[in-house]
Structure 1
Amino acid sequence: MRLRLRCFNASISRFTLLGAARAFILLVALGTIVSIVVMRPTGVADRFSEVVQPSDRATVTGIDDRPCGATVSDRCVRVLIHVDSGDDAGRRGVIQWNANGVDPPVHVGDKLRVARAQEIPGYEEYGQSTYDLVDFQRGPALLVLFGLFAVMVLVLSRLRGLLSLAGLGISLLIVLLYIIPAILDGKPPVAVAISGSLAIGMIAIALAHGRGAKSVAAMLGTIASLLLTAGLAAFFTSATRLTGLAGEEAFALRLADPTVSLQGLLIAGMIIGALGVLDDVTVSQSSTVFALRAANPALGFAQLFKGAMDVGRDHVAATVNTLVLAYAGSSLPVLLIFASGALGVDEALNLELVSEQVVATLVGSIGLIAAVPFTTALAAWLALHTSRAELEHEAAHGHAHVH
């Protein structure tokens, strides 16, 4: 009788704890949905359309040079093109560059994006309009690269990999269709970034890892760590007086709409940049705890916590290094100037372009470090109240995800 009563109490405890955790996540999800609906963007494309230069596809058909100055020695490179799309589709055109300029190298057969330019005298007789080079067409190469990436994910992770790719697609849609447009539309940047990131985190974990106790612990750890990261990003962006004006794109956005919060965009970037690493760490820690519990159901809270923390410390050391290298890579031009001795350490760190990366790295790292013990404790607590059958089920579905 006592044994049955203990089993009944244990079942009630499991239901109450896991049910409460799931109810909390459901409330967060509902709040996130309401926030996204309330702060959805409107009219951004029209307001910022002049920032983006419209262009058409074109193919390079020839390259030569010709005199273009007062003397024969003044020569210009002439790139002959065939326009492949838009109103000028089928027409011939020319792009003219100064031979001593810093224009990118092009070759016959290259695929370009071009825009109509002011006509240059002397080309009308050839039936050629003048164009400016906007950029290269990178779509085909990017599709091949993404295809290779997707194949490797599917080969390694199979169904889990497919679900992870679906989560990746949804994440990109949330960033491109909600987070960035809403901030540009004047909505509170921190609130937008948090709501969008919460949606990304919960959807990605649920798709790749299901809705079991392991995923619940990872979601709770991600939510808490993300909120900490957002608070730190907002505080230290203000404390270090970062403006978001370090890049050329910022001036284009400011010209299009002086009211746009560039500082808000900077904070949002820090939050989103940290999210992928937080997801990785929280899922890893939760998976480790449940694997330990499944391997030895006799382990208590302290043993589960200690065993998973041993793994977490190694994971944090490697991931923090990844964060630092990623942000350093994006600032290589400035770092090269710094390394050349043209700038002292204090001057280099005082540059906003460098300070942005320093703040982003440290904020993300603090959130990452905090996520490890918090998620590990939550997972250990839930694992102790998880049935043997569910533990085996969780252990059978390993840690595989794409961010």
Structure 2
Amino acid sequence: MKLTKRKMNDTIWILTLAISILLIFVGNRIVSKDLDLFVESDSAAAKANVVEIIGEQQKDYSLGGQEFKNRAILFKCKILNGEQRGKTVTVSQILDESYAPLKEIELKDKVIIYNYPSEEFGTEWVFGDFARLNVIIWMSLLFFVLMIILGGKKGINTILSLSLTCLAVFAVFIPSVLNGYNIYITSLLTCIYTIIMTLLLVNGMGKKTLATICGCVFGVIVSALLTVGMDQFLYMTGYVDEHSVYLHMMNVENPIDLKAVIFGAIVIGAMGAVMDVAMDIASSLYEIQQHMENISFHKLVRSGLTIGRDIMGTMSNTLVLAYIGSSFSSVLLLITYTSSMTELLNREQIIAEILQALVGSTAILLTIPLTAVVCGILYTKKSETSTEIKKNDEK
């Protein structure tokens, strides 16, 4: 019987992985139809390696009655990708005093350059930015190695689920938004897909997984209903910053629903916190039931609520601080150019951030009792196969 259960668990894992990949592939083909992304332009970007520093030039100019120096470092670099790979070109790095300071180019730096002629300094290419992706890749590899060392098989499954989640968002959800699909529906489908796929890959099939899925789906539905309901009272337009304006102008005939974009951001953002809370409750109550097999439904639910009270404070703080941190620069700028606190707090951009935090925190609060009740029903239910299911959950 052990072997049969193990084979069943492996079969579910393989099916979950295969179906998840298939859904992403098919979903991407459907939502990306007739959608052109990353289209190369005349000023196409290229990655290059700095091979020689030629020198520098300086130009003076006035802006708003003030004098500024426009300094440029001229250098040669070898293109590392694209049609012009291997070609050595001359590039100018413009260091403008009126903008943020940049690190000056040095030999062997990896940079991103644009095929955009600079008449002022006589170069065909201009410096765009430093190539930072390699550093992030190495840091990601370190994270993955630590995940595997500390998490073992579950660490590998976590990496797989994280990768599939990112693919679902960037390969399906985002193209669906840009191609005019209903954002309300695609947001919820993305959340449900992520919840089921993640929990089946990481925990396998079992009561603990089922209880967590129920709690997560309920939390996502709560956040969706709250967001739609509050929109009736807040009169949101979706124009929270300059990026919203650009999104609206991308397709004037069939513009992106900016209010739905806010909905998607809130629901997907809340999903992560809700999943964390539901998993904490389900896992904790499962361990309690393992060590107290005869525990009653009421005692188990009461234990879940007690654990939930300890979790809700830190999780709500985590959610609020995450949203504040992500928009910290915008908040600083708005405070500088706002005459009063009342005006600041009534700005749509600030209201959207507060709404995200409140909806996510409310979803967490309501997810706790529901998950506890579902765990109480599933964990205390007597059946002939309870022992086998427990062993399957432990794996």
| C-alpha deviation, 1:101, in angstroms | 3.2
Mapping for residues 378-397 of structure 1, pairs under 5 Å: 378-385=374-381, 387-390=385-388, 392-393=390-391, 396-397=394-395
The residue that corresponds to 1:260 in the other structure is: 256
Change (3 A) 1:380 1:49: same
Q: 1:66 aligns with which of 54, 57, 70?
A: 57
Query: Could you list the per-position Cα deviations for residues 133-165 of structure 1 after superposition, in whole angstroms to 9, with x for gaps in the alignment?
Result: 1x3322211111111211221122110111111
Q: Amino acid of the residue matched to residue 352 of structure 2?
A: E
| C-alpha deviation, 1:355, in angstroms | 1.4
Mapping for residues 274-313 of structure 1, pairs under 5 Å: 274-313=270-309
The residue that corresponds to 2:144 in the other structure is: 150
The residue that corresponds to 1:118 in the other structure is: 117
| C-alpha deviation, 1:337, in angstroms | 4.6
| C-alpha deviation, 1:343, in angstroms | 4.1
The residue that corresponds to 2:4 in the other structure is: none
User: Any conservation in 2 of the 1:217–1:286 contact (CA below 8 Å)?
Assistant: yes
The answer on 1:102 being equivalent to 2:99 is: yes
| C-alpha deviation, 1:383, in angstroms | 0.5
Structure 1 length-normalised TM = 0.80
Q: Amino acid of the residue matched to residue 56 of structure 2?
A: D
Change (3 A) 1:167 1:242: same
Change (3 A) 1:249 1:110: farther
Q: Amino acid of the residue matched to residue 133 of structure 2?
A: G
The residue that corresponds to 1:129 in the other structure is: 124
Partners of 2:112 and 2:326 in 1: CA distance = 25
| C-alpha deviation, 1:62, in angstroms | 2.5
Partners of 1:121 and 1:75 in 2: CA distance = 10
Partners of 2:387 and 2:171 in 1: CA distance = 41
Amino-acid identity (%): 20
Query: Could you list the per-position Cα deviations for residues 212-232 of structure 1 after superposition, in whole angstroms to 9, with x for gaps in the alignment?
Result: 011011111111211111121
Q: 2:155 aligns with which of 141, 156, 161?
A: 161
The residue that corresponds to 1:13 in the other structure is: none
The residue that corresponds to 1:8 in the other structure is: none
| C-alpha deviation, 1:98, in angstroms | 5.2
Change (3 A) 1:80 1:236: farther
User: Any conservation in 2 of the 1:83–1:93 contact (CA below 8 Å)?
Assistant: no
The residue that corresponds to 1:14 in the other structure is: none
Change (3 A) 1:349 1:271: same
Partners of 1:75 and 1:54 in 2: CA distance = 24
| C-alpha deviation, 1:37, in angstroms | 5.7
| C-alpha deviation, 1:131, in angstroms | 2.0
The residue that corresponds to 1:20 in the other structure is: none
Q: Amino acid of the residue matched to residue 73 of structure 2?
A: R
Mapping for residues 18-37 of structure 1, pairs under 5 Å: none
Higher relative contact order (CA 8 A, sep 6+): 1
Partners of 2:61 and 2:341 in 1: CA distance = 48
Structure 2 length-normalised TM = 0.82
| C-alpha deviation, 1:188, in angstroms | 1.0
Partners of 2:368 and 2:307 in 1: CA distance = 10
SS at match of 1:102: coil
| C-alpha deviation, 1:254, in angstroms | 2.5
Q: 2:197 aligns with which of 185, 195, 203?
A: 203
SS at match of 2:36: helix
The worse-fitting range, judged by mean Cα deviation, of 367-376 and 89-98 is 89-98
Query: Could you list the per-position Cα deviations for residues 252-274 of structure 1 after superposition, in whole angstroms to 9, with x for gaps in the alignment?
Result: 33232231222222211111111
The residue that corresponds to 2:313 in the other structure is: 317
Change (3 A) 1:231 1:39: farther
**Structure 1, unaligned runs of 5 or more:** 1-25, 398-403
The worse-fitting range, judged by mean Cα deviation, of 96-105 and 318-327 is 96-105
Q: Amino acid of the residue matched to residue 92 of structure 2?
A: I
User: Any conservation in 2 of the 1:217–1:382 contact (CA below 8 Å)?
Assistant: yes
The answer on 1:178 being equivalent to 2:175 is: no
The worse-fitting range, judged by mean Cα deviation, of 322-331 and 138-147 is 138-147
User: Any conservation in 1 of the 2:69–2:97 contact (CA below 8 Å)?
Assistant: no
